[in-house]
Structure 1
């Protein structure tokens, strides 16, 4: 996501886009939990668009600025015992978890819509400004696609683990519990895999999605 060889302005712009994307992602978790009856995150000041309360020094600052191709924010606390009557803890945690990746999809679609408008209509007399905005929007779209894909990986503590847990058939429960008990070890391996092998399943999936995004944009421009 951040290229260590990029100029300082580009690094700052991309980092700002990352912070915005992660802030909305974490807000979505907090807001959804609140709507389901759990105000834990709201009471802790996490149901806000203020990025400062969501920043993780390592995941939101150090890693991205060092060139690691993604980042994360502080996880939003959720207490399933505080969900409203009639909402099971499993369902509540599933909805709260998936709200994060959905927020990234919404951001990507919003960015794609703006990209189409900029390409379809000549809104700026300065071509350099238009090209710069197009680049920013492309980065914003691809960033949110990457965050959605990454967070849907069924590995603890990613959102995908909560989603997978909700849909996991009973027959596969023992194997799933054994997988969950590995904790963050699979996540560490997933992060190190590209550097060790040059292969990144998350990046490959992101590129596949972005290929379809560009196809949609092209379709609107024809």
Structure 2
């Protein structure tokens, strides 16, 4: 039987997560103040560490909701410590999402906490466990875009503003992709409890390939254009322009690519 001490240790925030959060705060301060001698490096570290923090919170939301739904095995697996090294597949949850951000500026959904669905007491709770992750991305997007839709940008340095806009882009893409009802993604997890056993058994073999299929379809020009059209429609509703997200990505990638003259001129204002 778990003691109070063991339960506390299972929920103690990991030093690994605290270290990542510290990098986010320090580099965010460096971008804000212009303290860093290399702005591109500061933006890269700020965006990357913030993205990893959001991935950890995404997985934590799944785990915490599952715990309250009846899966008491969650704590012993280390998922409540926010330690990304405890995930079932660190490659899928952390490494690949970061690589995709670096390569193309898209928020790849993570997904590697093992939930014992048979312990969850109702179909509604099973659906909520799956929805909790992408809803965290939605909340993250709302928080980091607050200065934009509140009209509180006076005094916010331009590089920091662009970095926030790019972070918002990542959160919105992650939320939309995760909510797709595709096997292997959280959107399918939301509807799966309501499907017949026969349908679930037929779909199950395709779950490992769902995310790959989504990205293959995104390379189809018409599909990619429709997807990013939706992303920018949402961002526009949050008062973020295409120019701001473009320049944020431009700053982020300036470590290995030359910054475009237009964004360089705006940042130097």
* TM-score scaled by length of structure 2: 0.62
User: Which residue does 2:54 correspond to in 1?
Assistant: 21
1:98-138 deviation line (CA, Å, top 9, x unaligned)? 01111111111111224345x4364x4xxxx6212222221
Distance change >3 Å, CA 81–CA 147, structure 1 → 2: same
Deviation at 1:181, TM superposition (A): 4.1
RMSD: 3.0
Deviation at 1:43, TM superposition (A): 1.1
Corresponding pairs, count: 197
Unaligned runs of 5+ in 1: 1-5, 216-222
Quick check: 194-203 or 12-21, which moved more? 194-203
Alignment map for 1:136-215 (pairs within 5 Å): 136-168=163-195, 178-197=202-221, 199-200=223-224, 201-214=226-239
**1:155/1:184 contact within 8 Å kept:** no
Quick check: 42-51 or 143-152, which moved more? 42-51
Distance change >3 Å, CA 186–CA 18, structure 1 → 2: same
Unaligned runs of 5+ in 2: 1-38, 241-269
User: Which residue does 1:81 correspond to in 2?
Assistant: 118
Quick check: 36-45 or 66-75, which moved more? 66-75
User: Which residue does 1:34 correspond to in 2?
Assistant: 67
Q: Secondary structure at the match of 1:157?
A: coil
Deviation at 1:195, TM superposition (A): 3.1
Distance change >3 Å, CA 165–CA 49, structure 1 → 2: same
**2:184/2:210 contact within 8 Å kept:** no
Out of 132, 139, 155, the residue aligned to residue 99 of structure 1 is: 132
Distance change >3 Å, CA 133–CA 213, structure 1 → 2: same
Say whether 1:71 aligns with 2:103. no
Deviation at 1:46, TM superposition (A): 1.0
